[in-house]
């Protein structure tokens, strides 16, 4: 079975599935949303098609690539609410080219909304932070979410202060639990 890891923060997308804007949970199908990749505004793929016949987890990190692979993770897909140029610069800075990490961008937050992960807390909105994503991780197997964690709290709606349950070690545990 192929395994991939997707690091969700948001995707640039055009929703192509009916009912994509309902809340995701374990057992949900990954939204069929077209996203940008390879830092090219013309390069797009549909997430449901991309994750078909794969086991996918969201998110992961370069320094944990070997441990992720050992847990059955084949690929890490990182996506953020941003444009392809920024994601390309981030990938270059982090040295992800040729690794298990693939970067995607979401200048419109459409996939984030399709996942019901839009950051809507008043605090971030009051300082102009809009259309951003909560920090979350999921394992998707053949388009179906089999494990999921959201790093948010009332005092930390974005999940940035205590992201532990969405980081690589947590994904490795999630993937290992799915193997048992």
For residues 139 and 106, give the distance between their C-alpha atoms in angstroms, rounded to a whole number: 20
Tokens of 42: 């013309």
pLDDT at 56: 56
- Which residues of the chain fall short of a pLDDT of 70? 1-23, 38-41, 55-60, 124-129, 179-180
Which tokens sit at 131?
Answer: 């259309």
Domains and CATH numbers, the chain: 2-179 (3.40.30.10)
pLDDT tens-digit map of 38-91: 666 677 878 788 878 876 554 457 888 889 888 888 887 777 888 888 888 888
| Backbone phi and psi for residue 53, each to the nearest 5 degrees, phi listed first | 60, 25
| Token digits of residue 72 | 């059955």
Structure tokens at 61: 């990190």
What's the pLDDT at 87?
A: 84
Is residue 46 a contact partner of residue 32, using CB atoms and an 8 Å limit? yes
- By CB neighbour count within 10 A (0-12 exposed, 13-18 middle, 19+ buried), where does 84 fall? buried
């Amino acid at each position: 079975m192929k395994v991939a890891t997707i690091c969700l923060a948001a995707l640039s997308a055009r929703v192509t599935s009916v009912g994509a804007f309902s809340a995701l949970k374990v057992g949900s199908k990954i939204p069929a949303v077209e996203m940008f990749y390879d830092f090219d505004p013309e390069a797009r793929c549909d997430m449901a098609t991309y994750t078909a016949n794969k086991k996918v987890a969201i998110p992961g990190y370069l320094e944990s690539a070997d441990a992720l692979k050992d847990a059955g993770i084949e690929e890490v897909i990182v996506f953020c609410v941003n444009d392809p140029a920024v994601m390309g610069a981030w990938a270059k800075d982090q040295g992800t080219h040729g690794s298990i990490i693939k970067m995607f961008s979401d200048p419109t937050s459409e996939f984030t909304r399709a996942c019901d992960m839009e950051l809507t807390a008043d605090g971030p909105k009051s300082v102009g932070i809009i259309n951003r994503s909560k920090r979350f991780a999921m394992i998707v197997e053949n388009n179906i979410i089999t494990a999921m964690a959201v790093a948010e709290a009332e005092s930390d709606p974005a999940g940035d202060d205590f992201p532990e349950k969405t980081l690589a070690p947590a994904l490795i545990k999630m993937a290992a639990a799915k193997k048992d």
